[in-house]
Amino acid sequence: MLLSNHSMDIILNKLSKSHGSDRNKQYEVFWEEEIQTPAHLQYTVHLLDLTTDDKQKLCLESGYDYIPRPQFRTHPPEFSLPVGHHICHVQLFQNNRCLLIISDDNRNLNVFLDNIDALNIVIKADHKKAVFSHTKLGSDVRIAVDEARALLILVSSDGSNACRLHIYRLMEKFSMFAACRTPMKLYSWHDGPLRITNACFVSGQEEIFLVDNREGRMYSFVTQQWRPATLHLIQQPSAIFSTPDGACLVAVERDQKRFHARVYHWASFGSNAGLVVNLADIQPTSFGITSLAQ
């Protein structure tokens, strides 16, 4: 006999009379319980940390010349996601709060914001901070985060000559977030549809840099206008970042053999071809940029 309740099945193998009188009958039940769970992928977060000595030397006036030796923390946190769910953005903040944005089977964006060590429990309990519907937000979404100003932006475009900026402020030491204004509609700076492929903040400024078809421009939240200078990129970047000190834009590019970073100074934006920095001979699937102590 099979008794089913969605993801749990109870299989009765045997039912037999045991000891006892006719007035007090006892039976033995032999059964199995089968719990069906979807296939999951497990993720391990290997956190790099600095020794106390490294932190002290980096804080000195001559700290910019010191090369630290980060070490992996023991007992790395882990979490699992159902197969078919994809990580769109993950970012660790200074107080060990972690922002994790996941696309589910319906292409909705699920936002988790909690301590990195509690992330697995939070995901299993389905304690999301927010869910952004695919039908309302659109399918072509870019994500940008400015930790210094505690801002999260979702850039959505639908193939028209405009895109929308959905702006949220991270509050209470990165434990919650809320919309800080209504979505902003930005119209293309050129003829033709606007298809945003990359987005990043200008660190510490109320500006965002957007890339469309190997052309990039900055948009100011203060003036609510595009800045006039256009950056013509050599190729479509795999990723773009603003350096944590707000001095440079870093575009990750790939040639036939390896990845490299092309660095542009914001101060001379659009006036040169950038400085090329070769990266390690590896084949990463994603990129990030950070600073140590400074």
Q: So what's the pLDDT on residue 22? A: 65
Distance CA 262, CA 257 (A): 16
Q: So what's the pLDDT on residue 293? A: 61
- Quickly state the pLDDT bin for 5 (edges 50, 70, 90): very low
Q: So what's the pLDDT on residue 178? A: 86
Task: Report, as an integer, the average pLDDT of 161-185.
Answer: 86
pLDDT tens-digit map of 257-286: 789 999 999 888 877 888 998 887 777 778
| Residue 115 main-chain phi, psi, to 5 deg | -65, 140
How many residues are given for the chain?
294
pLDDT tens-digit map of 53-104: 988 888 887 777 888 888 898 889 999 999 999 999 999 988 889 999 999 9
- Stretch among 7-16, 60-69, 210-219 having the lowest mean pLDDT: 7-16
- Quickly state the pLDDT bin for 159 (edges 50, 70, 90): low
pLDDT tens-digit map of 143-153: 999 888 889 99
**For residue 109, what are the contacts with CB-CB under 8 A and spacing of at least 6?**
88, 101, 102, 103, 131, 132, 134, 137, 141, 154
Q: So what's the pLDDT on residue 294? A: 54
Instruction: Look at residue 13 and tell me whether its pLDDT is greater than 90.
Output: no
Closest by Cα among 34, 135, 134, 150 to 91: 150
What are the CA-CA distances from residue 227 to residues 10, 165, 189, 234, 242 (Å)? 65, 16, 10, 20, 17
Average pLDDT, the chain: 85
pLDDT tens-digit map of 18-46: 666 666 777 777 777 777 778 889 999 99
Q: Following DSSP, what letter does each residue of the chain receive, concatenated?
A: -EEEETTEEEEEEEEEE-S--SSS--EEEEEEEEE----EEEEE---EE--HHHHHHHTSTTGGG-----EEPSS--EEEEETT-EEEEEEE-TTSEEEEEEE-TT--EEEEEEEGGGHHHHHHTT--SEEE-HHHH-SEEEEEEETTTTEEEEEEE-SSSEEEEEEEEEETTTTEEEE-SPPEEEE-SSSS-----EEEE-TTSSEEEEEETTEEEEEETTTTEE-S--EE-SS--SEEEE-TTSSEEEEEEE-SS-EEEEEEEGGGTTSS--EEEEPPS---S------S--
Task: Report, as an integer, the average pLDDT of 239-247.
Answer: 89
Task: Report, as an integer, the average pLDDT of 187-213.
Answer: 88
Number of Cβ within 10 Å of residue 213's Cβ equals 14
The DSSP bridge pattern shows strands 151-157 and 140-146 to be antiparallel
Q: So what's the pLDDT on residue 142? A: 93
